[in-house]
């Protein structure tokens, strides 16, 4: 799929919120904005349900907090 560049100006407060959320979720700015636009427009990512996207987002947040079990620890359990 071809891409286009979209330049957007946002208030500082909104920018700060975007930065906080995307860093916790380990998103690039582009990935964050694409996902926000998809959700706003009601378009799902190809092959992913809203529940799956939410589960991935929750998992990324948990990992950022250090709330996870390593594969090595899991295989020894």
Q: pLDDT-based confidence at 47, cuts 50/70/90?
A: low
Please say if the pLDDT value at position 43 is more than 80. Answer: no
- Position 33 in a domain: yes
Indicate the pLDDT class of residue 45, thresholds 50, 70 and 90. Answer: low
Q: Residue 64: how many CB atoms within 10 A of its CB?
A: 13
pLDDT at 71: 80
Rounded Cα–Cα distance for residues 53 and 43 (Å) = 12
What backbone phi and psi angles, to 5 degrees, belong to 10?
-130, 155
1 in any annotated domain: no
Residue 6 lies in a domain: no
pLDDT averaged over the chain? 84
pTM (two decimals): 0.52
Residue 44 inside a domain? The answer is yes
Domain count, the chain: 1
- The CA-based angle 23-26-31, given to 5 degrees, is 100
Is 3 inside any structural domain?
no
* Host domain of residue 26: 12-68+70-74
Structure tokens at 59: 């998992």
- 5 within some domain: no
């Amino acid at each position: 799929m071809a891409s286009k560049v979209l330049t957007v100006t946002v208030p500082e407060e909104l920018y700060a919120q975007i930065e906080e959320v995307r860093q916790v979720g380990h998103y690039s700015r582009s990935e964050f904005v694409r996902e926000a636009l998809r959700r706003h427009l009601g378009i799902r990512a190809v092959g992913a349900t809203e529940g799956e996207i939410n589960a991935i987002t929750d998992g990324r947040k948990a990992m950022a907090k250090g709330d996870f079990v390593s594969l090595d620890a899991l295989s020894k359990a």
